[in-house]
Amino acid sequence: MQNILLSNTTYKLEQDPYSYRLQDVDSPELFREMFPYTETPKIAFNYRSVPEKMPEDIFITDTTFRDGQQSRAPYTTEQMVHIYKLLNKLGGPNGMIRQTEFFVYSEKDRKALEECMSLGYKFPEITTWIRASKKDFELVKSIGVKETGILVSCSDYHIFHKMGLTRSQAMDKYLGIVSDCIEAGLKPRCHFEDITRADFYGFVVPFANKLMELSKESGIPIKIRACDTMGFGVPYPGASLPRSVSGIIYGLQHYSGVPSDMLEWHGHNDFYKGVVNATTAWMYGASAVNCSLLGIGERTGNVPLEAMVFEYASIRGHLNGMDTTVITEIAEYIQNKTGYDIPPMTPFVGENFNLTRAGIHADGLLKNHEIYNIFDTDTLLNRPPKVSITNTSGVAGVGYWVNNYLKSKKLDPVDKNSDMIQSIYAWVMEQYEDGRITMISDDELKYVTDKYLASI
């Protein structure tokens, strides 16, 4: 018999939710109707909507030094320490970038972790990701870290085909590992790997229930990181589980009682939904979204941290102390000092992010930046809008470039119809009339402009 009780979250009378129990199955549930493998994955709808419930406190966590290092050349110790300092600067005094996680297996990673801890920053709090063994727990505890991530794969793809276990065996194993972690004096963060292909009511909810019981018994908070490992999550209202982001977040709260501040979303971008899925997780009750700088991560990457900075500002109307100009500093450092090439069209950080080549667009920029610039990139990112000069840039494009250059030299701007602009434009067109097919470089334009200035 179910009781009707007043909820302390919705303040409505609600029936006690059904208590889901582990469903052990003889064969794995692979949801072949959604994931046929030889065809495009399918998005099914059952039109069951759940209420939005954005927490008052939402924030970002970082996996640049963990997932972000799994798809690129490893950072050096010096680079990791410098990037950690920039994360602190970007996140601001209110800790909008709340945590960052490190590996601890190599001497380089341990040294970087220890040097970062010695800085004494409150944010981002340093956590780890380790193998589920007592030896690793003791290693982390000896370093002084308070929280660690533990991999607890949830889908039958992993339980049956990777680990060769049944669901009950997997759950027992995971609960034992989490208990060992608590016994070692650490706060566990359980990474529910592949949650968007998992049997939500048959395994995810019963397992989360057990974790919340263990948390209550031990007095130790246990976090759950919902990992969209393959990027299958979708943000659409009425989409069915296991792909529904809102359904996952709502279900973990409603059926398992996971508090918002213990609930985190970790997404991948395989289907271009990384950012919107992370925002959806915030909107439906997760306090944290896990990201990496520039979105660098496994396969198609993680949710770009810089994207969620602007998502937060767009939703809340302020930056809560974050310094967005540091995003450009971070991008320049990673590209220039670590050998990572940022794709030029990448939002906020790519070379072409706020650059135009079309003459008609340059003419608009010359008259008013707001016409073709998404926001004041000069103020927010230390990146004024730019134009590149080709045979299609027109007089306006040349005029815009020259006036930006004159501004850098603290000289007054000139009209696009002036002799100066017309002369430089004529030089540009001569290049293409002579058969040139490449873009005019900034150095070439500086040379021609300086030559003209010296002649007057």
Which amino acid, one-letter code, is at 295? G
Give the structural domain span for 133.
25-338
Q: How many CB atoms lie within 10 A of CB 30?
A: 17
Choose between 139 and 245: higher pLDDT. Answer: 245
Looking at the structure, tell me whether residues 204 and 68 fall in a common domain: yes
Mean pLDDT of 130-159: 89
- Average pLDDT over every residue of 438-454: 92
Distance spanning both ends of the chain, measured CA to CA:
93
**Greater pLDDT, 372 or 198:** 198
316 vs 314: CA distance, rounded Å: 6
Is 18 inside a domain boundary? Answer: no
| Per-residue pLDDT, 362 | 63
Phi, psi of 121 (to 5 degrees): -70, 140
Which of 313, 338, 363 terminates a domain? The answer is 338
Q: Which residues contact 394 (CB under 8 A, 6 or more apart)?
A: 359, 360, 362, 363, 425
Q: Which residues pair with 146 in a beta bridge?
A: none
Position 346 in a domain: no
| Poorest-pLDDT segment among 3-17, 101-115, 252-266 | 3-17
Cα 456 from Cα 453, distance rounded (Å): 6
Q: Which two tokens stand for residue 112?
A: 């970087």
What is the rounded CA–CA span in Å between residue 366 and residue 384?
A: 12
Residue with tokens 């097919």: 437
- Give 361's pLDDT tier (boundaries 50, 70, 90): low
Residues 164 and 116 in one domain: yes
Would 6 be classed as within a structural domain? no
Q: Is residue 15 part of a domain?
A: no
Tokens 């972000």, located at residue:
68
Q: Are residues 408 and 323 in the same domain?
A: no
Q: In terms of Cα–Cα distance, which of 178, 198, 196, 195 is closest to 187?
A: 178
| Cis before 242 (ω within 30) | yes
Residues 368 and 326 in one domain: no
Cis omega before residue 124 (within 30°)? yes
Q: How many distinct helices (H) and strands (E) make up the chain?
A: 15, 12
Residues 39 and 103 in one domain: yes
Exposure of 213 in the CB half-sphere (CA atoms within 13 A): 9
- On whether residue 2 sits in a domain, the answer given is no
Phi/psi for 327 (5° steps) reads -60, -45
Confidence at residue 358, expressed as pLDDT on a 0 to 100 scale: 66
What was the pLDDT predicted at 366? 63
d(CA 135, CA 180): 10
Domain boundary among 283, 313, 338: 338
204 against 455, higher pLDDT: 204
Q: What is the arithmetic mean of pLDDT over 438-448?
A: 92
- pLDDT band for position 359 (50/70/90)? low
Q: Where do we find the tokens 């954005």?
A: 54
Between CA 2 and CA 16 the distance in angstroms is 6
Helix axes 107-118, 134-143, angle to 10 degrees: 40
SS3 category, 151? strand
Question: Is 260 within 8 Å of 286 (Cβ atoms)?
Answer: yes
Beta strands of 39-143 (E only): which ranges? 59-62, 97-102, 125-130
Are 409 and 325 members of one domain? no
**Mean pLDDT, the chain, as a whole number?**
93
3-class SS at 70? coil
Residue type, 287: S
- Backbone φ, ψ for residue 108 (5° rounding): -60, -45
**pLDDT bucket at 27, cuts 50 / 70 / 90:** very high
Q: Is residue 29 part of a domain?
A: yes
Shared domain check, 315 and 207: yes
Residue 170 lies in a domain: yes
Residue 115 within a domain: yes
Q: Domain check: are 378 and 449 in the same one?
A: yes
Which of 338, 365, 389 is where one domain is finished? 338
pLDDT greater than 70 at residue 348: yes
Regarding whether 395 and 332 lie in a shared domain, the answer is no
At residue 235's C-alpha, the angle toward residues 66 and 35, to 5°, is 80
Closest CA to 342 of 356, 330, 331: 331
**Residue 1 predicted with pLDDT over 60:** no
389 and 257 share one domain: no
Longest dimension (CA), the chain: 93
CATH number at residue 134: 3.20.20.70
Q: Mark whether 107 and 231 lie in a shared domain.
A: yes
Structural domain count of the chain: 2
Report field, pTM of the whole predicted structure over 0.85: yes
Q: Which two tokens stand for residue 389?
A: 């000069």
Residues 263 and 161 occupy one common structural domain? yes
pLDDT value at 59 more than 90: yes
Mean pLDDT of 231-236: 98
Could you report the per-residue pLDDT of 65-117, keeping only the tens digit for each?
999 998 899 999 999 999 999 999 999 999 999 999 999 888 899 999 999 99
Confidence of residue 373 (pLDDT cuts 50, 70, 90): confident
Backbone angles phi, psi at 141, to 5 degrees: -60, -40
Assess contact for 352 and 344: CB atoms under 8 A.
yes
Report helix, strand or coil for 188: strand
